[in-house]
Amino acid sequence: MKKTIQRRLLTGALVLMTALVTKPAHAVNYQALVDADVKKFQGYFRKEFPDVKFEDYGDGVYALDEDARKQWKEMEEFPPYELDVEAGKALFNKPFANGKSLASCFPNGGAVRGNYPYFDEKRKQVVTLEMAINECRVANGEKPYPGFKGDLAKVSAYMAYISRGQKIDVKVKSAAAYKAYMKGKAFFYGKRGQLNMSCSGCHMEYAGRHLRAEIMSPALGHTTHFPVFRSKWGEIGTLHKRYEGCNDNIGAKPFEEQSEEYRDLEFFQTIMSNGLKFNGPAARK
């Protein structure tokens, strides 16, 4: 009798231990963790700027500064990126040496901005639109476009233009995707460079405040409107070009266009803007 009880207790303990040890990976709901972050992040801006409508965050700093918004609206009547969109369209449809084109790689005529960035579960990395454009070129025997600006930004601008209105809804479905997300998050909040500054320092805590003559834009909505034609650049450039400029400004060595660091940062930032709509390309000062 005593032995039977002992055996049953032992069996029960083993079953319990097995259940605990073999707890399936999918039991962690990464999307729920991310959604909680999004709620906090967007809530921060709602609290800071209670009069700003959620959808206006897609307009960057012009959501916060009424005077600048008026000037920007006027600029958008004859947008400086118009020629770049046209050039991007031509490049998108231009045949490669093998007869195919960028149009061969992307469905829906290239109106796929809303599908990027995403986490590629097979390759275990974040794929951005610009990365996909260059991978298409390489897969078809062409050289990749050089980074940050030029033809890469023009093609991206065209694809963003024909995708306007697509909703941002980036998902995090796996441990690997969550790891990339967390890397982007750590980059966003971490201080770096000679000035010991972070993305969040300028674009959360100082959003809407002056830094010399400029008003700092809110991080919410940052990724909706790229590529942008910046008056300061005198040309159109990618989101990663902007990252490069920000890092340079704070005295940090910038990373390469489409580096893992910048792709993870874009992944995190885009997720923080879930619910907004892609509205690029755009004009900025």
Q: How many residues bind other proteins (CB under 8 A)?
A: 22
In the block, tokens 């998108």 appear at 92
Residue closer to other proteins (CB basis): 144 or 201: 201
Return the ∠ at Cα 265 (arms to 162 and 201), rounded to 5°.
Answer: 115
Residue closer to other proteins (CB basis): 45 or 278: 45
The answer to whether 241 and 257 are in contact (CB under 8 A) is yes
Q: How far apart (Å, rounded) are the C-alpha atoms in residues 181 and 204?
A: 18
Minimal distance, residue 206 CB to other proteins, in Å: 10
Q: Which span (23-31, 98-106, 111-119, 183-191) binds other proteins, by CB under 8 A?
A: 183-191
User: Among residues 75, 255, 274, 285, which is the contact residue for other proteins, using CB under 8 A?
Assistant: 255
Instruction: Give the number of C-alpha atoms closer than 13 A to the C-alpha of residue 173, restricted to the C-beta side.
Output: 11
Residue closer to other proteins (CB basis): 91 or 252: 252
Site for other proteins in 123-182 (CB under 8 A): none
Q: Is 247 in the site for other proteins (CB under 8 A)?
A: yes
Return the ∠ at Cα 156 (arms to 246 and 174), rounded to 5°.
Answer: 75
**Both tokens of residue 239?**
């989101």
User: Among residues 46, 94, 191, 209, which is the contact residue for other proteins, using CB under 8 A?
Assistant: 191
Minimal distance, residue 49 CB to other proteins, in Å: 13
Q: How far apart (Å, rounded) are the C-alpha atoms in residues 183 and 263?
A: 10
Q: Which span (50-58, 69-77, 102-110, 192-200) binds other proteins, by CB under 8 A?
A: 192-200
246 belongs to the catalytic site: yes
Convert 96-110 to b/e letters by CB count within 10 Å (16 or more is b).
eeeeebbeebbeeeb
Residue closer to other proteins (CB basis): 150 or 201: 201
Site for other proteins in 94-113 (CB under 8 A): none
Q: Is 196 in the site for other proteins (CB under 8 A)?
A: yes
User: Among residues 27, 74, 77, 194, which is the contact residue for other proteins, using CB under 8 A?
Assistant: 194
In the block, tokens 């369209």 appear at 89
User: Among residues 15, 124, 190, 256, which is the contact residue for other proteins, using CB under 8 A?
Assistant: 190
Q: Is 201 in the site for other proteins (CB under 8 A)?
A: yes
The torsion defined by the Cα of 89, 92, 97 and 99, in degrees rounded to 10, comes to -100
Q: Which span (108-116, 122-130, 162-170, 246-254) binds other proteins, by CB under 8 A?
A: 246-254
Return the ∠ at Cα 142 (arms to 117 and 225), rounded to 5°.
Answer: 30
Return the ∠ at Cα 208 (arms to 202 and 213), rounded to 5°.
Answer: 80
| Catalytic positions, written as ranges | 246
Residues lying near other proteins in the complex (CB under 8 A) are found at: 44, 186, 189-194, 196, 198, 200-201, 204-205, 247-248, 251-255, 261
